[in-house]
Amino acid sequence: MGSIKSGLFISLDGVIEAPETWHFDYFDDEMGAAVGALMGGNDATLLGRQTYDEFAAFWPNADPADPFTAQMNGGRKYVVSDTLTEANWENSTVVSGDVEAELTELKKDTHLGTTGSATLVRWLLEKGLVDELHLLVHPVVVGGGKKLFADGAKVPLSLVRSTAFKSGVLHLVYAPAAR
């Protein structure tokens, strides 16, 4: 049985946009281990179109000494998009059409992990497709930007575990609440 695990960097005020402008001051070995464990437990990465475009522009040219570079480039990737007709980044496949049915089928035997892709994560949560939501809550108020939780459907979640890092970041793991 597979799963979908979503991981996001998020500020105290709920912002997930442009973490490269506020996140790195808090990135340390603890967070690196948590992110590495989350990514390492996946068979493939699930991305929304915008995140796919950003990653496909960055990772093929990234430092080969960075351990994430080989994982990001060599690993299987699925990009959810109604507008992308082909995915040129190594080991990438476009998921379109009846996305809910395709992902439900795919997760029967594949462990998928999302990175970023807030619009996709919100949709996955509303459809009940996320098995674990990992929020790395940073102790900073960004003051503006795209938020993870915009207007939408109510999605009850249960806290599975929480870890406080020395940096002040909280790693919160949620699963769908029993209904």
Tell me what pLDDT residue 61 has. Answer: 92
pLDDT for 4 equals 95
pLDDT confidence of residue 169: 95
pLDDT digits (tens, 9 = 90+) for 82-124: 898 889 999 999 999 999 999 999 999 999 999 878 889 999 9
Predicted confidence at residue 179, as pLDDT, reads 60
Q: What is the pTM of this model?
A: 0.89
Distance separating alpha carbons of residues 12 and 145, to the nearest angstrom:
12
**Fold adopted by 3-176:** Dihydrofolate Reductase, subunit A (3.40.430)
Phi and psi torsions of 5, nearest 5°: -115, 130
SS3 breakdown of the chain: % helix, strand, coil, rounded to 5?
A: 30, 30, 40
Low-confidence ranges of the chain (pLDDT < 70): 179
